[in-house]
Structure 1
Amino acid sequence: ELPGRLAILPFRNKVLLPGAIVRIRCTNPSSVKLVEQELWQREDKGLIGVLPVRDSEAAAVGSILSPGVGSDSGEGGRRSPGGSGGESTKQDAKSGKEPIHWHSRGVAARALHLSRGVEKPSGRVTYIVVLEGLCRFSVEELNARGSYHVARVSRLDMTKTELEQAEQDPDLIALSRQFKATAMELISVLEQKQKTVGRTKVLLETVPVYRLADIFVASFEISFEEQLAMLDSVDLKVRLSKATELVDRHLQSILVAEKITQKVEGQLSKSQKEFLLRQQFCR
């Protein structure tokens, strides 16, 4: 169940997708306050919202601890989500503050683990937070609560009943098969390359395909715009099409790299043979 309001953690130039797990270090005072009030003081691990913000529109204060993780960003006043205009931008311009343009869609995240640290000699409190993305939401209203932000949100991802109905669509079934086939080919290539046999193939048969699409894409190094496009792909057909394209592109890049490596190794091998023949001839 998604609450009607969520405290918002900004992700600088990065996107958290449902199903992905990230580990971040919060050092910014506003993010530290959010963690203390919304997560640390709760007996059960709470939910927060993660919203992307652009690199040029927010100050990076946190540090990245793992691939695909955005750092926390600076403070701001009252904001309207998504747009670059509006009263909030005008007010910020008058007050001399740089406006923060939040993306209008984000992901609700569950805190899987929290740890608190104190830096020496400053005594500054920091937090390590492990978050799991759960579902997409749309921001209806975004307001400041002290030093951090809280948004009124509405769920975008389908409910379980809606998903069961959608999965009967022949077009969606065909897209699901195409995605799984491409993903399976990528996994096979990676396993041969790394000489290992993992459990990813089992996940392809057990994890719902709409969730797999997000998880696979979250593991790739892609542009911020492509990450946003995936986040905005609420329609399952659009999401699977985008995910299949990205998985195939990743697969092709590996295959091309392997072909180049084989050609280089072949040329080196040929040169070595010629060198040995010359050495024998000189003797």
Structure 2
Amino acid sequence: MAESVELPSRLAILPFRNKVLLPGAIIRIRCTSPSSVKLVEQELWQKEEKGLIGILPVREAEETPSVSPVISHGVGTDSTERSSKTQVGPTDSQKLNGKNPQEVIHWHARGVAARALHLSRGVEKPSGRVTYMVVLEGLCRFSVQELGTRGTYYIARITPLEMTKAEMEHVEQDPDFIALSRRFKATAMELISILEQKQKAGGRTKVLLETVPIHKLADIFVASFEISFEEQLCMLDSVDLKVRLSKATELVDRHLQRRSHKRLRDSYQNPRRNFFYVNR
């Protein structure tokens, strides 16, 4: 489960093409490009449980076929850290290798720090190329102040976006936040009940509703839905807890309505499966 962590001032960055990692979510990725392999070796494999990296969403131009669908190739060939010397915004871009002006990556201004839950190393045959399978857990949001490179992979100067304990306690006393929390929990519980009836599961999820802080639950629930890249970015950018809860409730409610409509449609198509159907 995601928890509060103290982030360093700089994080190695793994670009995530048209996809977002949210705090509390767990993803499994395969690193094959030289830059991503080097990042894993230096920032995760050697540091073991102390290793942290940043996952930063990118919107890549259509004319960049040489870039991996999930992880883009790094820039630079020297071993020193180089900075782009520019502020990074939602529409800012960074050129790859500085050679082809068409090879442009559009970086998002915010990302999520992640730690490795599992690492496995493989060697492809007959090429002998080293690859890594990495299971990452999202921890907390950050904003990018400056983006550069360290050898063959990216690195960013960052600012954490998590609230302090005192700030969190103050927000939790806000009547609006309390009302939003209750609405989110009610909507989430309704969705869980429907899933429980269909899949005979959901007990563990109900425990989460009672034990995990509500602002973390919002991210965890939304991360499990199939939503657009724009909606994922919107959720990532919801640093304000009330905005985050409102957005999460909207998405959970939409998912709930889809499930309800599907269940109703199935009941009409298969009336004998309808609990309320009575043959008189």
In the TM superposition, 1:266-281 aligns within 5 A as 266=271
| Map of 1:72 onto structure 2 | 71
How far does the alpha carbon of each residue in 1:200-233 deviate from its partner, in whole angstroms, 9 at most, with x for none? 1111010000000000000000000000000000
Structure 2: which amino acid aligns with 1:61?
S
How far does the alpha carbon of each residue in 1:142-188 deviate from its partner, in whole angstroms, 9 at most, with x for none? 00111101100001121222111211111000000000000000000
SS at 1:38 equivalent: helix
Q: 2:165 aligns with which of 150, 160, 167?
A: 160
Q: 1:225 aligns with which of 225, 230, 233?
A: 230
| 1:247 matched to 2:246 | no
Distance 2:191 2:37 in 1: 39
Distance 2:253 2:108 in 1: 27
Task: Judge conservation of contact 1:139–1:151 (CA < 8 Å) in 2.
Answer: yes
Q: 1:117 aligns with which of 122, 125, 132?
A: 122
Task: Judge conservation of contact 2:61–2:104 (CA < 8 Å) in 1.
Answer: no
Q: Please say which structure displays the higher CA radius of gyration.
A: 1
| Map of 2:208 onto structure 1 | 203
Distance 2:267 2:129 in 1: 52
Structure richer in helix, relative to its length: 1
Structure 1: which amino acid aligns with 2:89?
G
| 1:215 matched to 2:224 | no
Superposition TM-score, scaled by structure 2 size? 0.86
Superposition TM-score, scaled by structure 1 size? 0.85
SS at 1:151 equivalent: strand
Structure 2: which amino acid aligns with 1:256?
H
Distance 2:229 2:201 in 1: 31
Distance 2:252 2:72 in 1: 30
| Map of 1:82 onto structure 2 | 89
- Distance of aligned partners of 1:108 and 1:248 in 2 relative to their CA distance in 1, 3 Å threshold: same
- Distance of aligned partners of 1:83 and 1:168 in 2 relative to their CA distance in 1, 3 Å threshold: closer
| Map of 1:36 onto structure 2 | 41
Q: 2:24 aligns with which of 16, 19, 28?
A: 19
How many residues are paired up? 259
SS at 1:220 equivalent: coil
Q: RMSD over aligned Cα, in angstroms? A: 2.4
How far does the alpha carbon of each residue in 1:47-72 deviate from its partner, in whole angstroms, 9 at most, with x for none? 1000001243665526xxxxxxxx21
Structure 2 spans left out of the alignment, 5+ residues: 1-5, 77-82, 275-280
Runs of 4+ aligned structure 1 residues displaced above 6 Å come to none
Distance 1:109 1:121 in 2: 32
- Distance of aligned partners of 1:146 and 1:245 in 2 relative to their CA distance in 1, 3 Å threshold: same
SS at 1:173 equivalent: helix
Distance 2:8 2:176 in 1: 33
Task: Judge conservation of contact 1:12–1:60 (CA < 8 Å) in 2.
Answer: no
Determine what percentage of the aligned residue pairs are the same residue. Answer: 71
Report deviation, 1:83. 5.0
